[in-house]
């Protein structure tokens, strides 16, 4: 089963969940009154979902991976803002830990998707070499090992 919409991507879903959590905790309490902090953490969390969606719409693995790199930077920035929010007393330790873990899950899913896209775009090793007549499984010349995939 393939992915037909960016909303189907686990990386986008986790980033979106993080975005929703960030908006919820900055809507009330002391974080809601620190306008600069509130706006920065909201923007970084929003940027991750936007860049994942935009990259998906580019339809080319290399371009998509480039947008995922930007999204990864935004996820790391959000994680940093969460730490800052904890230090300022905007987040209790348990709430910070839950959001930190969610941000780490989003970062990991993003990294796995980038890795997958790089594999999709990578040229096949030994693709232009002549087949070994002695061993049809070996795409190289006689004596060359089978490439590891």
What gap in Å lies between CA 134 and CA 144, rounded to an integer? 11
**pTM, whole model, 2 decimals?**
0.80
What is the CATH code for 6-121?
Answer: 1.20.1440.60
pLDDT in tens, 7-58: 999 999 999 999 999 999 999 999 999 999 999 999 999 999 999 999 999 9
- Confidence (pLDDT) at 145: 46
pLDDT in tens, 59-103: 899 999 999 999 999 999 999 999 999 999 999 999 999 999 999
């Amino acid at each position: 089963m393939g992915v037909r919409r960016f909303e189907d991507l686990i990386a986008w879903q986790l980033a979106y969940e993080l975005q929703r959590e960030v908006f919820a905790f900055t809507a009330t309490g002391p974080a809601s009154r620190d306008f600069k902090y509130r706006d920065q953490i909201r923007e970084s969390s929003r940027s991750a979902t936007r860049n994942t969606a935009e990259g998906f719409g580019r339809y080319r693995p290399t371009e998509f991976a480039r947008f995922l790199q930007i999204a990864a930077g935004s996820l790391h920035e959000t994680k940093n803002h969460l730490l800052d929010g904890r230090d300022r007393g905007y987040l209790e330790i348990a709430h910070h830990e839950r959001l930190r873990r969610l941000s780490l899950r989003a970062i990991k899913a993003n990294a796995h998707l980038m890795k997958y896209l790089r594999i999709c775009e990578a040229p096949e090793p030994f693709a232009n070499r002549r087949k070994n007549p002695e061993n049809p499984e070996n795409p190289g010349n006689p004596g060359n090992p089978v490439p590891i995939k």
